[in-house]
Copies of this chain bind each other. A is one copy, B any other.
Amino acid sequence: MKKAVILLSGGLDSTTVCAVAKSQNRSILALTIDYQQRHRFELEAAKQIAKRFEVAEHIIFPINLRLFGGSSLTDDSIEVDQNVSFDQIGHSIPSSYVPARNMIFLSLAVAFAETRQTEEIWLGVNNVDYSGYPDCRPAFLHSFEKTAKLATKAGIEETSTFQIKTPLLSLSKGDIIKLGLSLGVDYSMTRTCYSLDENGFSCGKCESCQLRLAGFREAGVDDPVPYINDIETGMVNKRRIE
């Protein structure tokens, strides 16, 4: 069975990637980065998801990006953008951009992969519901793949086959959800919100919630996770973008 390192955040996209890898008969080595993010509940979600997919190994790797700061996700003095208009998303770099995050995470994935004798890294980025992050662009991913080939042992003999696999890259959020549902993904386990509370309730207002909710609307199904506003309105699981 071919091994694949998967960067598993506990969100919708990386969980779908696990399902795709499983359907292609991969043995999953899950890597979850605990970067002291604001939304801590996400880590609990990742643990449950890894269990559900019966991964061969799951490393929760702590790395304190708060030492650098510079993002609303890693610096409490910077606010998470709220009430982002859906049309604004993707037009500028949001405050949630964490400098060099994907580069750091992918480098850690390369280390994990090389020590486990595999050269496959799977990543849940997508370029359609583009959120304005520079390190989600295909040009970056291709360049990183080339760099990874040079960075490793196999790179010296030029036998490296390092691959960054991005099965969701050209799918819309709605299509990702449809794909996941067809593979049996239980999206109630996943969390996406940047302002998750300690009970795992999503805010429904940040850019990440907006993209998720639009995706479920597009897929024509209800989002099964609880939203904080539902408590006020009593409309559990029915939250939609107005």
Q: Which residues of A contact B (CB under 8 A)?
A: 59, 61-65, 67-70, 93, 97-104, 106-108, 110-112, 114-115, 134-135, 137, 139-140, 143-144, 146-148, 150-153, 155-156
Contact = CB atoms under 8 A, between A and B. Distances in A.
Given A64-B62, A147-B143, A115 B137 contact: no
Nearest to A147: B143
A183 B114 CA distance: 39
Contacts of A62: 64
Report the copy number of this chain in the oligomer: 2
Contacts of A146: 143, 147
Contact of A68 (B65, B98, B111, B150): B111
Given A62-B64, A68-B111, A104-B111, A143 B150 contact: yes
User: Mostly helix, strand, loop or mixed at chain A's interface?
Assistant: helix
Contact of A148 (B70, B103, B112): B103
A152 B134 CA distance: 6
11 contacts: A61-B64, A68-B112, A99-B110, A99-B111, A100-B151, A107-B107, A134-B150, A134-B153, A140-B147, A140-B151, A143-B147
A103 B110 contact: yes
Given A93-B156, A134-B156, A156-B134, A102 B151 contact: yes
